[in-house]
Amino acid sequence: MESASFVAQEKVVLSIQKLSTAVVTSRSIVGHGGIPPLIDLCQVGNSISQSTTTATLKNLLTMPEVRQTLVDEGIVNVMINVLDYDVVLGLKEQATECLLQLTSGTEKFR
């Protein structure tokens, strides 16, 4: 995804978001090293790809076994930065939902 154009990145991330709604494909995304590029894109992409990436990360967070990996990759700081610095309202809502999903059902990440 790093060398792709913004339009291509948006298409890839949208496809990954759709795939991340199923547990089996979410595990494949995580198992094949998909988290670091998603975290990176969420930090440097445009608002459309950031929003889609945040939604994808939120989908991945539905699997409790993935939460620690996402925390280790820096999801908390990334989402807080989105909340602090981004001006796109929908993106802020996605980041909030992502953090809520991270903390739901467990005391470990609260």
Structural domains in the chain (count): 1
> Which pLDDT does position 96 carry in this prediction?
93
Tokens describing residue 30:
């995580």
pLDDT of residue 39: 93
Q: What is the pLDDT along the chain (110 residues), one digit of tens a residue?
A: 555 677 787 888 899 999 999 999 999 999 999 999 999 988 887 888 888 999 999 999 989 888 989 999 999 999 999 998 877 778 899 999 999 989 887 666 65
Dihedral angle computed from the Cα positions of residues 34, 37, 40 and 45, in that order, rounded to the nearest 10 degrees? -110
- The parent domain of residue 51 ranges over 6-103
Is the sign of the CA dihedral 81, 87, 88, 89 positive or negative?
positive
CATH code (residue 75): 1.25.10.10
C-alpha 19/C-alpha 21 separation (Å) is 5
Indicate yes or no: pTM above 0.75.
yes
